[in-house]
Chain A
Amino acid sequence: MKSEKYVYINDRPVLWEDETNILALAKKAHITIPTFCYHSELSVYGACRMCLVEVEGRGLVTSCSTAPFEGMRVKTHTNQILKLRKIIIELLLANHERECTQCDRSADCKLREISYQLGVNELRFRKTRERKELDTDSPSLVRDPNKCVLCGDCVRFCDEVQGIGAIDFVNRGEDVFVSPAYGKSLANVDCVNCGQCAAVCPTGAITIKNETHKVWADIANPDKVVVAQIAPAVRVALAEMFNLPPNQQNTGKMVAAMRLIGFDKVFDTAFSADLTVIEEANEFLNRKLKGGKLPIFTSCCPAWVKFAEQSHPKLLDHLSTCRSPQQMFGSLAKVQLPEMLGVPKEKLSLVSIMPCTAKKFEAGRPEFAPGGVRDVDHVLTTQELGRMIKEAGINFADLEPDSFDLPMGFATGAGVIFGNSGGVSEAVVRYAAGKLNLDVPETVDLMPTYLDKGFKSAEIDTPVGKLRFAVVHGLKRAHELALKIEKGEEYYDVIEVMACPGGCIGGAGQPIASSVQHRATRAETINNTDKMMSIHRSQDNPYMKELYETFLKEPNSDKAHELLHTHYHSRKRIEDEEIQFFDASDESRCKVKVCVGTSCFLRGAQEILGHTLKTVADNGWNRYFEVAATFCTENCDKGPTITIGDQVVHKATIADVDRILGEEAKKREA
């Protein structure tokens, strides 16, 4: 028989099963204890002190970091506790920029909410901190340190879940604030724009870069035809902004609301997701059959792509060359829609509605702006679309559903499940099953929903051999898996990576709701949407067939490569200065730059640099050369890289250095 242990919360017995802290037990006793710094998916920090409770025999303890014991007696709202919580809020509010009416997080600010709940109605403390500059350079996010309550949720998410650590605490005591390294902007450091820092922020200290004004301007412009694409995950979360429960009709209401706002055409990113499936599955099968680079990593997630570019240069040729569904839609729309709608290309404004903040960064990548004109003009998040609907005064709940426009609004279930982590793999399997005549149902559920574990894998036997799939979400897990792949310790054929918890449904552009349960509901709604659709495989989408017959010819054709594929380049993690070893005064000297970025460093750049400096010094060549260590020449896959004058030497060796320095010195001696 199971042992029965009890803890007494406010004198009522509560069964203690596997809860690790008082906070979770209190929830069972129908008590929500206020917190800022507690997130069930992050490490316990215990900094905000909001969750104080009284434990008999121990006095006041933080309920997030205190483990239960049998017979423990806890009080959650004594007079003393309520008074202390109020004081904590007062102290936080003293330095918090309280311009709530102008704040993007006004509607879902935890500080405002808890302050109201506790009835804080006077502030006895004055502001002690000087106002800090806002960081507005990132295409995805805005940081306002003046609203930060130093709970550290953003710092821990970036470090513990994404494995990046783009932001951290700076200074000590009264002067502490959260910042990227050296006080730089998020735009110039290793931030991948996933935006989860904004999603976990309890206040408005990190928010989504709002672009709604640009879209309103295009809609108001009579010369512009404004066309929208909507990502799969948006439709299962938008209704949360209007406090509506999940419902299949919400997709139709969303389309109706967008028409009311003034979008001329409303299309579906799931359409181009179908296209992604066909292109990517063929790319994969070709690699499998012809002995190309495997595993193939998916490339739909722009946060993962940037992460791979800055941290895994060796794996870049493993990434699928397929553009993400957003960008496939963008290039295809800018080529086909002018004729289809009878509108000149420059008058077409393409807006995508995404669950994601990194999509804003992706749309701005120069390779997706042929001739300087962006394929996707503006990217709005689910939150921003919700705000536009509210701004226009549209009563979302009362709308009659409407349908997407054809042809680019017609998608299959395979395109829709892209919103869930594991969806891309599943869609690829559905396609491959058809192509390889596998005896599996149309909707194979290879890997049942797992959500909180973050990793799953599956194998299927096919005539071309065993196909092994792995699915991860969270970049730290992806990083760990990538390292094993690099070392040859693990083998898979296809690895799907999504940065956000649960995939796009848990994207930072979605309405604020960070609980696992909330995401599970969204995931289920996506799966149900797929089940209710009549077509489940991308290859059965009649408009895909038409698109290939009339325009693209065949998957991975030259035309497809031009419009639907891309290339990757290694990328600096941080904008930084060079380490100059010589006064850069003498223009006639030959400039020698040794890359000491991570990748080159690991490949022995350090010895090359030491050798270069020694060679120059030993030969008395200071008048000929000036040496600098530079932080990434963005050629990581070919490192170590050394630049001597005009010559760029990849995979440099000490012998190369000796030879070229000798030649250059001879030239100068002459």
Chain B
Amino acid sequence: MSNDNTAARSFTKVLEILEEHDFDEHRIVSILQAVQAEYRYLPQEVLTFVATSLKVSPARLYGVATFYSHFSLEPKGKHIIKMCDGTACHVRGSKAVIDAVREKLGLSETKITTNDLMFTFETVACLGACGLAPVMVIDEEVHGMMTPEEAIKLIDAIMESENA
């Protein structure tokens, strides 16, 4: 039942977002940001609705949504793990951590979210914390000097708390 209410609430929120932005197509990016904040991604059917409301073609809106890497058209997991693979982290062994996490979660370079929508694992070019390399960020929390073993431990801890 709680799912039902969430979806309805999200959609009402989209209507509010559109109204707050005066249905102005020039504010397309901030509208999409707000919609993504609500859904954690940009669902296709919601995008079509937004395009219709703003009187732009769905292809144009899709173009904007795919231009910025900030926007995601795939559902993202509840927990977002980002691994830095910039130069400093790379030379200090980020690759081994990336491989371990992907194996643990059954993910790959192209499949970044688990089927149960619990985890999304992304690599990023630099987090600006090279002194702590290799760096991993889990749900906005920074973890430095990462090793494959440590990463697995952190993921196991999240899984346990989710199952509890």
A positions within 8 Å CB-CB of B = 159, 164-172, 179-182, 189-190, 573-574, 576-583, 596-598, 601, 606, 609-610, 613, 617, 622, 626-627, 629, 631
Residue B30 interfacial (CB < 8 Å): no
Q: Please name all residues of chain B whose beta carbon is closer than 8 Å to the beta carbon of A159 when the two chains form the complex.
A: 57, 60
| Cα distance, A179 to B67, chains bound together (Å) | 13
Query: Chain B residues near A613 (CB, 8 Å)?
Result: 8, 11-12
A172 touches B58 (CB 8 A): no
Contact between A165 and B11 (Cβ–Cβ < 8 Å)?
Answer: no
Check if B4 sits within 8 Å of A172, measured CB to CB.
no
Q: Which residue of A171, A573, A581, A631 has the most chain B CB atoms within 10 A of its CB atom?
A: A581
B48 touches A574 (CB 8 A): yes
**Cross-chain contact B59 with A579 (CB below 8 angstroms):** no
- CA A199 – CA B44 in complex, angstroms? 30
Q: Which of B31-62 contact A (CB under 8 A)?
A: 43-49, 51-53, 56-62
Given A172-B66, A182-B62, A577 and B56 contact (CB-CB distance below 8 Å):
no
Q: Is there a chain A Cβ closer than 8 Å to B137's Cβ?
A: no
Q: Mark B2-14, 1 if CB is under 8 A from A, else 0.
A: 0111011001100
- Are the C-beta atoms of B63 and A629 separated by less than 8 Å? no
Name 18 interchain pairs, CB-CB below 8 A, sorted by A. A168-B57, A168-B60, A170-B62, A180-B59, A181-B62, A182-B47, A182-B62, A189-B58, A573-B58, A577-B44, A578-B45, A579-B7, A579-B11, A581-B8, A583-B4, A610-B12, A622-B4, A626-B4
The interface residues of chain A lying within 8 Å CB-to-CB of B51 are 181
Across-interface contacts of B62 in A (CB, < 8 A): 168, 170, 179, 181-182
CB distance from A138 to the nearest CB of B (A): 15
B124 beta carbon closer than 8 Å to chain A: no
Q: What's the Cα separation between A449 and B109 when bound, in Å? A: 59
Q: Which 8 A-B pairs have the closest CB atoms?
A: A165-B57, A181-B58, A168-B59, A168-B63, A181-B59, A581-B7, A181-B62, A582-B4
Q: Does B157 sit within 8 A of A, measured CB to CB?
A: no
**What CA separation (Å) do A613 and B47 show in the bound complex?**
20
Q: Does B1 contact A (CB under 8 A)?
A: yes
Besides A179-B62, A579-B43, 4 more A-B contacts (Cβ < 8 Å) are A172-B67, A180-B59, A579-B11, A610-B15
Name the distance in Å between B46's Cβ and chain A's nearest Cβ: 6
User: In the assembly, what is the distance between CA of A170 and CA of B61, in Å?
Assistant: 10
The answer on a CB contact under 8 Å between B52 and A597 is yes
Note all chain A residues with C-beta closer than 8 A to B67.
169, 171-172
Q: With contacts A172-B66, A610-B12, A622-B1 known, is A165 near B52, CB below 8 A?
A: no
CB neighbours (8 Å) of A610 from chain B are 12, 15
Q: Which residues of B contact A168 (CB under 8 A)?
A: 57, 59-60, 62-63
The answer to whether A165 and B66 touch (CB under 8 A), given A576-B44, A606-B15, is no
B36 to chain A, nearest CB (A): 16
Main secondary structure of the interface of B (DSSP, over half): helix
Least Cβ–Cβ distance between B14 and chain A, in angstroms:
9
Question: In whole angstroms, what is the CA distance A616 to B142 when docked?
Answer: 43
Chain B contact-residue range equals 20 to 34
* A579-B46 in contact given A597-B52, A617-B5 (Cβ < 8 Å): yes
Residues in B neighbouring A629, C-beta threshold 8 A: 11, 45, 49
Residue on B nearest A171 in the bound complex, by CB: B66
Complex Cα distance, B62 from A168, in Å, reads 8
Identity of the chain A residue whose Cβ is nearest the Cβ of B58 in the assembled complex = A181
Kindly list chain B residues whose C-beta atoms are within 8 Å of the C-beta of A576: 44-45, 48
A171-B67, A172-B66, A579-B46 are contacts. A181–B8 as well, Cβ < 8 Å? no
Minimal beta-carbon separation of A311 from chain B (angstroms)? 11
Separation of A628 and B1 alpha carbons in the complex (Å): 15
- Of all chain A residues, the one with the shortest Cβ separation from B68 is A172
Distance in angstroms between the alpha carbons of A162 and B57 in the assembled complex: 12
Task: Write out the residue numbers on chain A whose beta carbons fall within 8 Å of the beta carbon of B43.
Answer: 579
Bound CA span A574–B44, Å: 11
Contacts of B59 on A, CB cut-off 8 Å?
Answer: 165-168, 179-181, 189
Compute how far the CA of A159 lies from the CA of B55 in the bound complex, rounded to whole angstroms. Answer: 13
Residues of chain B within 8 A (CB-CB) of A181 are: 47-48, 51, 57-59, 61-62
Residue among B46, B56, B60, B69 with max Cβ neighbours from chain A (10 Å)? B60
Q: Which residues of B contact A166 (CB under 8 A)?
A: 57, 59
Report the bound CA distance from A180 to B62 in whole Å.
9
A172 vs B69: C-alpha distance when bound (angstroms): 9
User: What does the 1/0 interface line of B57-98 toward A look like (CB < 8 Å)?
Assistant: 111111100111100010000000000000000000000000
Q: Is the pair B4, A169 in contact by a Cβ cutoff of 8 Å?
A: no
When the two chains form their complex, are residues B57 and A577 in contact, meaning their CB atoms are under 8 A apart? Answer: no
Q: Which B residues are CB-close (under 8 A) to A627?
A: 8
Q: Are the C-beta atoms of B66 and A170 separated by less than 8 Å?
A: yes
Closest to A627 in B: B8
- In the complex, chain A residues whose CB is within 8 Å of the CB of B53: 601
Smallest CB gap from A175: residue in B: B66
- Closest residue of B by beta carbon distance from A579: B45
Which among B12, B49, B63 is the interface contact of A170 at CB below 8 angstroms? Answer: B63
Q: Is the CB–CB distance between B57 and A631 below 8 Å?
A: no
CA distance A609 to B13 in the complex (A): 13
Q: Tell me the bound Cα distance from A577 to B48 in angstroms.
A: 10
Minimum C-beta distance from A603 to chain B (A): 13
In the docked arrangement, what's the CA distance between A37 and B5, Å?
49
Question: A604: shortest Cβ distance to chain B, in Å?
Answer: 12
Residues of B within 8 A of A179 (CB): 59, 62
A240–chain B nearest beta-carbon distance, Å: 32
**Separation in Å of the B157 CB from the closest CB of chain A?**
30
Say yes or no: A583-B58 contact (C-beta < 8 A), given A182-B44, A576-B48. no
A165-B59, A168-B63 given; A596·B49 CB < 8 A:
yes
Complex: A574 Cα to B58 Cα, angstroms: 8
Contact A583 B66 (CB under 8 A): no
| Contacts A165-B56, A170-B66, A179-B59; A582 near B45 (Cβ below 8 A) | no
Question: Which residue of B is nearest A626, CB measured?
Answer: B4
Chain A: minimal CB distance from B34 (Å)? 17
Minimum distance in angstroms from B99 CB to a CB of chain A: 23
| Closest CB in chain B relative to A485 CB, distance in Å | 18
**Cα-based distance from A617 to B1 in the complex (angstroms):** 11
A86 and B67 CA atoms in complex are apart in Å by 29
Complex formed: what's the CA distance from A168 to B61 in Å? Answer: 9
Q: In the complex the two chains form, what is the Cα distance from A169 to B7 in whole Å?
A: 30
Which residues on A sit within 8 Å (CB–CB) of B11?
579, 581, 609, 613, 629
CA–CA, A622 and B3, complex, Å: 11
**Could you tell me the distance between the alpha carbons of A613 and B11 in the complex, rounded to whole angstroms?**
10
Q: Please, how many angstroms separate the alpha-carbon atoms of A609 and B62 in the complex? A: 25
Q: Do A596 and B52 touch (CB < 8 A)?
A: yes
Task: Give Cα distance in the complex from A471 to B15, angstroms.
Answer: 39
Chain B residues in 8 Å Cβ range of A171: 66-67
Shortest distance between the CB of A172 and any CB in chain B (Å):
5
Which B residue sits closest to A172, measured CB to CB? B67
Contacts of A579 in B (CB 8 A): 7, 11, 43, 45-46, 49
Partner of B57, one of A190, A583, A626: A190
Question: How far apart sit A190 and B57, CA to CA, in the bound complex (Å)?
Answer: 9
> In the complex, A616→B3 CA distance in Å?
14
Contacts of B46 in A (CB 8 A): 579
| Assembled-state Cα–Cα distance A577/B73 (Å) | 14
